[in-house]
Structure 1
Amino acid sequence: MTTNPTPTNWLPLVVLCCAQFLASADNVTLSIATQALMNDLHATLGQVSTANTMYPLIAGTFMVAGGMLGCIWGWRMLFRIGCLIFILAEACAFFSPSIALFTWGARLTAGIGGSLMIPAVFGLISALYQQRRRVAAFGALGASSGISFACGPIVCGYLLDHVGWRIAFASLGLLALLILLCSVIIPASENKRAAIAFDTPGFLLGTLGLFLTIFGILRIPVWGLVMPFDPAVSVLGLSPAPFVILCGLMVLVMMLRWERYFEATTGHALLPAVFLKTRLVRHGLYLTGWIFFAYSSAIFTVVSFAQIVKSVSAMETGLLILPFAICLAACSLGLPLFIQQRNPRRQCQMGLTAGIAGALVAAAALHVTGFTPVLMASGLCLIGAGMGTIAANAPILVTTGAGNRHAEQSGGVQAASRDIGQALGMALISTVMLTVLTFLMKYQVQHDPAMGLAARQAIGHLTFIPWTSDRTFHQLIQTQNLAPGDLSGLLQHYQQSRMLSARYGLLAMAIVTSLLLIRLRHLPKSS
């Protein structure tokens, strides 16, 4: 494949950025379609949350394998197959009659398509562009995500409000078809590793291990962290989630042992040792995962709160996160273009610090009946700027640390870290919000002398309190035949607890980011 493109040979990058735009827009559309899916498919917030996590779960599971398949089949072929599967996924979303088919059909298929398409994007950029061109190309890739966060919510929000969520997903399918047709612009791979045998045992072990680990984490909000929410779903009287996670980690340990043997025998591996042993690669992967961890945790919290508490429309949701998207795109593309002397340590520290500050400001913007627009916009701007700054640095850290031999294959593990980060962000926020809501609601009701005994017992007997709208909660407690005064008091406690749970969700994101900031204090000062 061409490794030193002429100044005019940037057309392939446009196609690749469109593919990244597609993947990001798909997730954006789903994030702002929460209320529409709940209404049209009669889904709960938990079911929509599961649909949100299905793409990163499946994509993160298979993307490491996608990195090796690109070396065998050729990156352009892998890219085209991913586009085809993505088209099928959007068609399935359009025709979905239920949330079950939408989740296990459309979102699962989209995850498989993304697990092939996105590693191919990283691999093609690593092969086509070198040195400063590669830095600019990865910056453009991050900016395309920012543009999708900016344009996607407004365009898709308009479609959601006026023609429905089905047309929004169908439009993404047409975009995938256009990208597939334009892939003729991308140079064909030289397929230097065609003789490599695919690491089937490593693939099976890695797929099973990643799936069990991520699936267990994602089920914590449903099953519980230690004690089960539903006694009928338990293992030895405890939540099944930690047992599933432990099984997944054990399988991954077996996979890593096999990979070392396979690499020593053949010279190649699904997960080369350099990806784990090189500090620069590890730090780059942590940062890559944080980008989408921050997006899924912060945006899911803000969007859920805005749509459920303030009943904003899909298009209004898009306008709400527009400042976030603009700052992300500006920092991701602007830093590589305008700052010649790069200092990755300083830039990444500033990016993570901005993310922490943004989460705290956004949390302060929340109140019982809505949020303060100026404060919320400021918080989202800081989060977007932090994500854009990290997006301009993380891929270069990985490809530089991996070296020329493994730079292209690193696309699979980079893409996997993004989707694992997104899944972990969703799981963390869902768990924190549901746990805090349940604890605070029960605590406030039990310690409110104005509450009647029947109201205290009704709330005390609930295993967990659902995170939902005032109307739905009112319908839930109406079935308990409580006094009108107790109904009003319970609703006030619920509104207060719900707001505080969202604040704690954003605080959890800030704490995780602070830990990462401490962990990455040894980043290099120059790239």
Structure 2
Amino acid sequence: MSTPSSKTPCTLWLPLFILCLAQFLASADNVTLSIATGSLMRELNASMTQISAANTLYPLVAGTFMIAGGMLGSVIGWLKTFRIGCLIYLVAELCATLSPSITVFIWIARLLAGVGGSFMIPSVFGLLTGLYHGKQRAVAFGALGAASGISFALGPIVCGALLDMVGWRWAFGALGGVLVVILCCSLIINEPAKHNAPVRFDFPGLILSTAGLFLLIFGVLQISSWGFITPFNPAIHFLGMSPAPFLILSGLVVIHFMLRWERVCERKTGSAMIPKAFLHTPQVRTGLYLTGYIFFAYSAGIFVVVSFVQIVAGLTAIGTGLLIVPFAITLAGCSLGLPVLIRQRRPRRQCRIGLMLGVLGAIVASSGISEEHFSVPRVVLGLCFIGASMGTIASNAPFLVTSALPDKEARQSGGIQAAARDVGQAMGVALVSMVMLTMLTIGMKDKVVNAPVSKQTRDALQHLAVVPYLNDPQFTLFMHQAGALKNDLPVLTQTYRQSRAQVTRAGLYAMALLTLLFLWPTRAIPLAEREENIARTE
């Protein structure tokens, strides 16, 4: 097999484009689902509960099997695993296109998409690690981060246009066509050289990691629906509390036993689902934390902003995509530009600057939120800072992981990095939505005590387990159905507007505060890593 240095620019970088296209497709698939909500409800008679299940199933299934997908690539080959994942994903898109009911859409199409993603995404990391080395690897991972950034902006615009012009079925069908292109073009990708030592698949580790990650991710995803301590839905509780923390704790316990088993398995067979190098190397652990942060920042920041601009301000899907375009450009520019332009890497400084940019972005974006409107310049500037934060971290985190590991473990790290991304994404939405709903509920109940409304309206609000995040007409209808008097609704709605703006800003403040926590592990990142030191990975 030819070495990277002997390849032409076309044969060297064309495989990277194909792998980035696969990353783009996975993000675009989730974007298409998120903006097809209205169409699915109209044409398949789906309820909001079913739509929520469809949105939850992909990250739940994909995150659950990511680590197993990473090890499978080491056993049967990364290119074969990549093609299997693309093929399963293609079947998923076809099932989505032809779904006769929401049940088929959820439990066949979205389930298969999650399985396909758990094969495809770790293989992208494994192939990049095996095909590119040194400076080229840093650029390749930067390009992968840029592909994610581009999909965040172009996804709503392109998919929204498809939905408006030809319908949601053709939108998913178009994604299936992209997968056919990826599968055909995968013929030009070379399989990285295999290691001499055979890798045995860890079946007990598969069972334990699957169970542990399922409980952990499912528990995190349900925080926004069930609450974290006090149950949002009184009908769903355990010992008077929300079941979410118990699921999360159970998942962490199972993962703890899985890690103990992995030590035994690696000592006996030389292979493990999570090799000890991942746990005993501080730089690797930090790289995984920061990998989780990238998607934590995206899901938290974008969730808060998009919730306000669409639900409150009434911005369309395409309009939202246009609002996010500067964010995506900044993310892509920093992710790809830093490894290309900077010859002397200072990863610790870059990562810390990146995290502080995320804090700044959250604060700036929050300053642009008012009761019913938002300042486009401030929100866009805040999102650009968040995009620069994500891009800066994305240009460093994967390389921090792979450069600190032996080559075999570096290739296998794709599944663990992808699992860290899914956990980070789930935590971002869950934590900020929990903060927003909890503060909105408490704030409204406190304010209504002194508000000039009747006792019946006050009691109706006090008896609510949770006050949802709605626009003004939806809130008015919600409170009327809850028992509030019609004459009290104008005062109640004005109070709600104030509380809604406050909790929107609080969601961004929560993101900023949690971002600061990621600064602590950066102590394990090298101060500087010159280009000649990067070349040691070749």
Relative to the length of structure 2, the TM-score reads: 0.93
Q: Using the alignment, how far apart are the partners of 2:328 and 2:489 within structure 1?
A: 40
Partner of 1:137: 140
* Deviation (angstroms), 1:144: 1.3
Q: 2:513 aligns with which of 502, 511, 514?
A: 511
* Deviation (angstroms), 1:101: 4.7
Q: Does 1:428 align with 2:431?
A: yes
Q: Using the alignment, how far apart are the partners of 1:348 and 1:103 within structure 2?
A: 38
Structure 1 stretches lacking a partner, 5+ long:
none
* Deviation (angstroms), 1:43: 5.9
Partner of 1:457: 459
Deviates more, 1:153-162 or 1:458-467: 153-162
* Deviation (angstroms), 1:163: 3.0
Q: Does 1:106 align with 2:105?
A: no
The CA deviation string for residues 269-318 of structure 1, in whole angstroms up to 9 with x for no partner, is 11000011101100100111111111111112211211111111111111
Q: Using the alignment, how far apart are the partners of 1:525 and 1:492 within structure 2?
A: 52
Q: Using the alignment, how far apart are the partners of 1:347 and 1:202 within structure 2?
A: 35
Q: Using the alignment, how far apart are the partners of 2:441 and 2:49 within structure 1?
A: 15
Deviates more, 1:289-298 or 1:299-308: 299-308
Q: Does 1:295 align with 2:298?
A: yes
* Deviation (angstroms), 1:165: 3.2
| 8 Å CA contact retained: 1:60, 1:415 | yes
Q: 1:241 aligns with which of 241, 244, 251?
A: 244
| 8 Å CA contact retained: 1:32, 1:318 | no
Amino acid corresponding to residue 113 of structure 2 in structure 1: A
Q: Using the alignment, how far apart are the partners of 1:503 and 1:428 within structure 2?
A: 14
Q: Does 1:216 align with 2:219?
A: yes
Partner of 1:231: 234
Partner of 1:488: 490
* Deviation (angstroms), 1:34: 5.0
| 8 Å CA contact retained: 2:297, 2:390 | yes
| 1:412-423 alignment runs, 5 A limit | 412-423=415-426
| 8 Å CA contact retained: 1:34, 1:304 | no
- The DSSP-based 3-state class of the residue aligned with 1:196 is coil
| 8 Å CA contact retained: 1:218, 1:427 | yes
Q: 1:189 to 1:404 in 2, by over 3 A?
A: closer
Q: 1:12 to 1:111 in 2, by over 3 A?
A: same
- The DSSP-based 3-state class of the residue aligned with 1:233 is coil
* Deviation (angstroms), 1:46: 6.6
| 1:179-218 alignment runs, 5 A limit | 179-192=182-195, 195-218=198-221
Partner of 1:400: 403
Q: Percent identity?
A: 56
Partner of 1:525: 527
Q: How many residue pairs end up in the alignment?
A: 526
Q: Does 1:52 align with 2:59?
A: no
Q: 1:108 to 1:492 in 2, by over 3 A?
A: farther
* Deviation (angstroms), 1:421: 0.8
Q: Using the alignment, how far apart are the partners of 1:225 and 1:74 within structure 2?
A: 41
Q: Using the alignment, how far apart are the partners of 1:192 and 1:416 within structure 2?
A: 24
Partner of 2:4: 4
Amino acid corresponding to residue 4 of structure 2 in structure 1: N
Q: Using the alignment, how far apart are the partners of 2:239 and 2:245 within structure 1?
A: 12
Q: 1:73 to 1:304 in 2, by over 3 A?
A: same
Deviates more, 1:192-201 or 1:450-459: 192-201
CA RMSD of aligned residues (A): 2.1
- The DSSP-based 3-state class of the residue aligned with 1:16 is helix
Amino acid corresponding to residue 484 of structure 1 in structure 2: K
Q: Using the alignment, how far apart are the partners of 2:482 and 2:289 within structure 1?
A: 48
Q: Using the alignment, how far apart are the partners of 1:40 and 1:102 within structure 2?
A: 12
Q: Using the alignment, how far apart are the partners of 2:359 and 2:207 within structure 1?
A: 38
Q: Does 1:84 align with 2:87?
A: yes
- The DSSP-based 3-state class of the residue aligned with 1:340 is coil
Q: Does 1:354 align with 2:352?
A: no
Deviates more, 1:322-331 or 1:154-163: 154-163
Deviates more, 1:352-361 or 1:18-27: 18-27
Amino acid corresponding to residue 503 of structure 1 in structure 2: R
The CA deviation string for residues 393-414 of structure 1, in whole angstroms up to 9 with x for no partner, is 0111000111223111111111
Q: Using the alignment, how far apart are the partners of 1:236 and 1:480 within structure 2?
A: 26
* Deviation (angstroms), 1:521: 3.3
The CA deviation string for residues 187-222 of structure 1, in whole angstroms up to 9 with x for no partner, is 134444684321000010010011101111211222
| 1:156-171 alignment runs, 5 A limit | 156-171=159-174
Structure 2 stretches lacking a partner, 5+ long:
530-538
- The DSSP-based 3-state class of the residue aligned with 1:285 is helix
Relative to the length of structure 1, the TM-score reads: 0.95
Q: Using the alignment, how far apart are the partners of 1:15 and 1:438 within structure 2?
A: 47
Q: Using the alignment, how far apart are the partners of 1:517 and 1:117 within structure 2?
A: 31
* Deviation (angstroms), 1:47: 5.6
Q: Using the alignment, how far apart are the partners of 1:43 and 1:216 within structure 2?
A: 24
Q: Does 1:116 align with 2:123?
A: no
| 1:192-341 alignment runs, 5 A limit | 192=195, 195-341=198-344
Q: Using the alignment, how far apart are the partners of 1:161 and 1:314 within structure 2?
A: 10
| 8 Å CA contact retained: 2:294, 2:390 | yes
Q: Using the alignment, how far apart are the partners of 1:303 and 1:37 within structure 2?
A: 20
| 8 Å CA contact retained: 1:71, 1:192 | no
- The DSSP-based 3-state class of the residue aligned with 2:285 is helix
